[in-house]
Structure 1
């Protein structure tokens, strides 16, 4: 009725911990770089490192629980490796400007004084119709009303408009 529990398989790693650390490190850092380069505008409000961390932790924990790794410590060690690299990248980004650019990209100007900056739009593969959709969702009817529009590090587009007042110089209004 009940099968014998293999306690050794549960608690004693079969895979060397160094191999788990190296594999976890390579996968995390490789995916981080791919996502940072390719999917900046697709991430929405969830940061790339946050999304990557959640996905990899779920997968790594699943491997330890689903018996893909033979022991629980192997799965936990892989989760710890992923958390370690997430923390290291965030710490490096906080301490050093070079890493800050890698971990959290700068905002990118897409519109200046009502004119699209086509080169920057091409960098992020944003079409005119996509940009205009974002402008309209911000409550702005024409591009001439936009003082500036930026692709934010989160992947969202922020719109800054001119506030038209008779006899006054245009002021910025964040929409």
Structure 2
């Protein structure tokens, strides 16, 4: 009965391994997963952003380990979560400050230009013509000839500009609101 009410406060808050080791482990895992996810074709990710997915997975893992005592203190879980937050913010900041680092923020990939498929880009992203046509139909486009441009965005979504799209300036759009 006495063991049920005993709380090991030291075990809860004092890390059982080096804080520096935790930071290095968290950094290596985050950067490795980030790199692997960047190398996968965008269609594998869907509409969830890569860093969003990575942060959620690593947060869950770090928090789960802290709660399940795989490592023994809450402090260790907090350090790992803080490390993940740091790398997520830092890589987003780096991509913002240095847009030429395409690895961090890849540009949209042109899939269709003036009604013609760009086969090489479809193959690169592992998208079949049927899959692309499905995405076009979901956005109300029946024929490929109606498409002026179709892009695979960095998050895996496909944006479409049709031939009959009206072009309006940002100023005109603001006036309409």
- TM-score calculated relative to the size of structure 2: 0.87
Structure showing greater relative contact order (alpha-carbon pairs closer than 8 Å, 6 or more residues apart): 2
Give the Cα separation in 1 of the matches to 2:26 and 2:141: 46
8 Å contact kept, 1:147–1:172: no
In structure 1, the residue matched to 2:53 is: 51
Give the Cα separation in 1 of the matches to 2:71 and 2:35: 26
Give the Cα separation in 1 of the matches to 2:133 and 2:12: 56
Deviations 1:105-147 (A, max 9, x none): 1000001111100001111011111111111112111111111
In structure 1, the residue matched to 2:159 is: 158
In structure 2, the residue matched to 1:12 is: 14
8 Å contact kept, 1:150–1:157: yes
Give the Cα separation in 2 of the matches to 1:16 and 1:37: 32
CA offset at residue 15 of structure 1?
Answer: 0.7
In structure 2, the residue matched to 1:144 is: 145
Q: How does 1:11-50 map to 2 (within 5 A)?
A: 11-50=13-52
Q: How does 1:86-125 map to 2 (within 5 A)?
A: 86-99=88-101, 101-125=102-126
Task: Report the number of matched residues.
Answer: 165
Secondary structure of 1:102's counterpart equals coil
Give the Cα separation in 2 of the matches to 1:135 and 1:94: 30
Give the Cα separation in 2 of the matches to 1:2 and 1:120: 67
CA offset at residue 103 of structure 1?
Answer: 2.0
CA offset at residue 2 of structure 1?
Answer: 4.1
CA offset at residue 172 of structure 1?
Answer: 5.1
Secondary structure of 1:109's counterpart equals strand
- TM-score calculated relative to the size of structure 1: 0.88
Give the Cα separation in 2 of the matches to 1:39 and 1:120: 11
